[in-house]
Amino acid sequence: MVKRAQLIRMKNIYKSFGAVSALIDVDFKLNYNEIVGLVGDNGAGKTTLIKILSGVYLPNKGKIFFDGKEITLKSPMGAKNLGIETIHQNLALVEELNIERNIFMGREPISPVLGGFIGLLDRKRMEKEAQGILKNLKIPINSTKERVKNLSGGQRQSVAVGRSLHFRAKIIIMDEPTAALSVQETNKILSLTKSLREEGLSIIFISHNLYHVFAVADRITVLRHNRVVGERRTEETNMDEITGLIVGKKVKESLPKV
């Protein structure tokens, strides 16, 4: 059997802003059908790393491989075209617009009229496809005409996930997806995250809440002071060890590395 290449491999990534080093010699990998928890204290480099992977920043040094082929991510649209979708903590949703407009925002289907001289939004298609997204993800929302400002935090997260899936994401980067959610909605998002892996997606799950990371991640990568200081399979580590890696505290017995 031919071994499948890693979906993402970032090697020896450096990024600086003037005299400030944001990432130093960082290696990061994401396999097919895998959830990787990316953790670290504030300022550890997590945001810079995902912005490089989502095409916002170019690294000063290092290589990025996608499915075994070296790539250069020059823009967010370039990352999206490869199937890398990022759900930021602020979700990038427009509260005054309804669900279907938010799902298609920036990538709206156009219906040509007057012989193709002009185009209008294909609202029927948007509504139909948005309804399908809500149904497939089992999102409890009555109508795609509902404005985002009227949705709960968990519903908003689900809409953002649905938008990513509709545009054929292969990788979803979830930045603090459970922040400020109720216990019930948190459990729904964690369950949705695991179901995405079962459907063939790979996910980078960024969170300060280690309980949530341990609930979904297959593997955990720890950043501290802009470097990767540890990588563990979730089943082979524990909360104390990961906390120790985050804060720089030595553990008495180091568990096996990946």
Instruction: Give the Cα-Cα-Cα angle 70, 73, 74 (nearest 5 degrees).
Output: 135
Confidence of residue 51 (pLDDT cuts 50, 70, 90): very high
Alpha-carbon distance 21 to 193, whole Å?
A: 32
Confidence of residue 153 (pLDDT cuts 50, 70, 90): confident
CATH topology of domain 8-96+167-247: Rossmann fold (3.40.50)
* 126 and 101 Cβ atoms separated by less than 8 Å: yes
* 143 and 128 Cβ atoms separated by less than 8 Å: no
Q: Domain spans of the chain?
A: 8-96+167-247, 98-146
Average the pLDDT over each of 75-79, 121-125, 148-152, 204-208 and give the range with the smallest value.
121-125
pLDDT tens string 193-206: 999 999 899 999 99
Instruction: Read off φ and ψ for residue 82, nearest 5 degrees.
Output: -85, -10
Alpha-carbon distance 110 to 118, whole Å?
A: 9
